[in-house]
Structure 1
Amino acid sequence: MLLPVFIGISWLHIITSEGMEISQPAAVVANRHGQATLACDYKVRGSMEDIRFSLLKKIGKKTTEICVVAYSTGYEPAASGNAIRCLGIPAPDIVTFNISGLTVDDTGLYSCKLEVMYPPPYRSTEGSATFLYVPDLTSQCAQSVEPVESKPYDLAFLITFLVMLVYSLLVTCVLIFKRRKRRWDTSLYGHVLQSNCKNYHPYYIQM
C-alpha cells in the first residue's frame, strides 16, 4: 500500500527539482550597520514567467521564512520584510538580496529557495546554506572605551620605582661632586707647591 505512495512522492520530487539549481556562498559577514548582501545564482531549464524567491533561516530542524521576493521575467526589484528588510534585485541568472536591520541574534544559516509558480508544473529547489555572521559591535565598542582600573600593587610599584630613581640620582650627584672636589684640591695643592718652588732662593753662608 505505502510503496506506490512513496514511489509517487519520490517521482514528483524528481520532476519538480529536475533542471533547477541554486548556488550561494559559504559565508557572508554583515557590516557595522547591520547590512549584508547575499547573492544566489540559479539555473532553470524550461520556461518560467512567475518566480518566487524566499530567504530561509535554519535553526536546527526548524526553517523560518525571513523574506520573500516574487517577480516576473521583467526582473523588477522588490522589497519585503519587517524587522529584517530585504531588497531583492533579480536578474536572468542571479538574485541579490540586500538585507538590512540585522542584529547579532540574526547570526545563523540562511538558504535561498526558488519556486517557479507559472507555467505549470510547479517546481522548487533550495540552495545550500550560507553562514551569515553579524558581529556584536556594541559590546566591542564598550570594551574598547572601558577605563583601565588602577590596581593597588601597580601604584605601590610605581611609588617604589620613583623613590629608587630619586635616591639613585642623589647618590650619583654626591659622587660626582666629591670627585670634582678632590680634583680641585689636588690641582690647588700642586699650584701652591709650584709657586713656592719658584720663589725659593738658596742661602749661602760664607766662612
Structure 2
Amino acid sequence: MIIFLITNIIYIPLGIALHVSQPYRVEGKPEHVPLQCLFSSELRPEEMQVSLYRGLHGQQRICSAYVNLSKPYFATDGPVQCRGNISSGRVDMIIFGLRGEDTDIYRCKVEVLYPPPYLRSVGNGTVVYIQENPNCPTAFMQSQSQISEKRSSVSDDVGPLPLLCAILIITSCIFMLQIMKIIWKWRDTGSMAPMASQKDSYRQF
C-alpha cells in the first residue's frame, strides 16, 4: 500500500509535466500529408522519441524516430515514411505513403528520454483525410467524348448515302442533257425537210 501511494505521488506530477495536443482534422494528398503535434513540458528535453500511431485506441505504429534536439530533423524508412523537425514545443512532420483508404485517426506519442525523469504522453488524435486523385474524366472531357461519339454514330448511320445521291444527280443531269440533244437534233432535221421539199417544187415549175 505504501509503495502504491509513493508511486502515485511521484507519477502524477511527472505525468502532468508533459502534455501532447493535436489539431482535430487535417487534409492531405497521397504524396504528402502534413501533421503537427504540440507538446509542453516543464523540462527542456534534449533527447526524444516521436512515434505516430493509427487508430483511436490501436497500437499500430506507423513510424517512430529517435531525435537528438541538437539535430532536430528526422526521417524514417518503410512503406510509410515520416519526415519532420522538432522545434520549441512542436513537432512538424510530413507523412509519405498513405492512400485514400488510410483515412483514419492518427495519434502522436512523445517520449522524453533525457534529461530524466522519463516522460511520455499521447495526443488526442487527428483525423487525417487523404484526398484521392480522381481517375474519372472531368465534365468537360465527358461532354467532348459524348459529342465525338455522337458524330461518329451519325457518320456510321449515314454511310455512303451522300455519295449515292451525288452519283444519282450527276447521272440524271447527263441523261437530261442527252435527251435535250436528241430533241434539238430532231427539231433541226424536221425543220430542214420541208424547206428542201419546197425548193424541189419550185425547180419543177
- CA RMSD across the alignment: 3.0
Relative to the length of structure 2, the TM-score reads: 0.61
- 1:114-166, CA deviations, whole angstroms, 9 ceiling, x for partnerless residues? 101122221101111100011232xx323646776x9xxxxxxxxxxxxxxxx
For 2:42, the equivalent position in structure 1 comes to 45
Q: Distance in 1 between matches of 2:44 and 2:94?
A: 27
- CA 1:87/1:9 → structure 2, altered by over 3 Å: closer, same or farther? same
Aligned partner of residue 96 in structure 1, secondary structure: strand
Q: Name the aligned partner's letter for residue 116 of structure 2.
A: P
Matched, 1:141 2:135: yes
Aligned partner of residue 141 in structure 1, secondary structure: coil
Q: Distance in 2 between matches of 1:4 and 1:143?
A: 70
Offset of 1:5 from its aligned partner?
7.0
Q: Distance in 1 between matches of 2:27 and 2:101?
A: 14
Of 15, 22, 28, the residue aligned with 2:26 is: 28
Could you tell me whether the CA contact under 8 Å between 1:69 and 1:88 is conserved in 2? no
For residues 17-96 of structure 1, the aligned pairs below 5 Å read: 17-31=15-29, 33-58=30-55, 61-96=57-92
For 1:181, the equivalent position in structure 2 comes to none
**More helix, by proportion:** 2
Aligned partner of residue 135 in structure 2, secondary structure: helix
Offset of 1:56 from its aligned partner?
1.2
Aligned partner of residue 83 in structure 1, secondary structure: coil
Offset of 1:77 from its aligned partner?
0.7
Could you tell me whether the CA contact under 8 Å between 1:114 and 1:125 is conserved in 2? yes
What number of residue pairs does the alignment pair up? Answer: 146
Please say which structure displays the higher CA radius of gyration.
Answer: 2
Offset of 1:70 from its aligned partner?
1.6
Q: Distance in 2 between matches of 1:52 and 1:13?
A: 20
Aligned partner of residue 31 in structure 2, secondary structure: coil
Offset of 1:73 from its aligned partner?
2.4
Higher alpha-carbon deviation: 95-104 or 41-50: 41-50
Higher alpha-carbon deviation: 111-120 or 72-81: 72-81
Could you tell me whether the CA contact under 8 Å between 1:38 and 1:96 is conserved in 2? yes
- Structure 1 stretches of at least 4 aligned residues deviating more than 3 Å after TM superposition: 3-13, 143-148
Unpaired segments ≥5 residues, structure 2: 150-205
Unpaired segments ≥5 residues, structure 1: 151-207
Offset of 1:6 from its aligned partner?
6.0
- CA 1:13/1:135 → structure 2, altered by over 3 Å: closer, same or farther? farther
Q: Name the aligned partner's letter for residue 101 of structure 2.
A: D
Aligned partner of residue 16 in structure 1, secondary structure: helix
Matched, 1:98 2:94: yes
Could you tell me whether the CA contact under 8 Å between 1:23 and 1:128 is conserved in 2? yes
Kindly, what percent of the aligned residue pairs are identical? 24
- 1:64-101, CA deviations, whole angstroms, 9 ceiling, x for partnerless residues? 11111221221431101311110021112211111111
Q: Distance in 2 between matches of 1:54 and 1:68?
A: 4
Aligned partner of residue 59 in structure 2, secondary structure: strand
Q: Distance in 2 between matches of 1:25 and 1:68?
A: 20
Relative to the length of structure 1, the TM-score reads: 0.60
For 1:198, the equivalent position in structure 2 comes to none
Offset of 1:13 from its aligned partner?
4.2
For 1:117, the equivalent position in structure 2 comes to 113
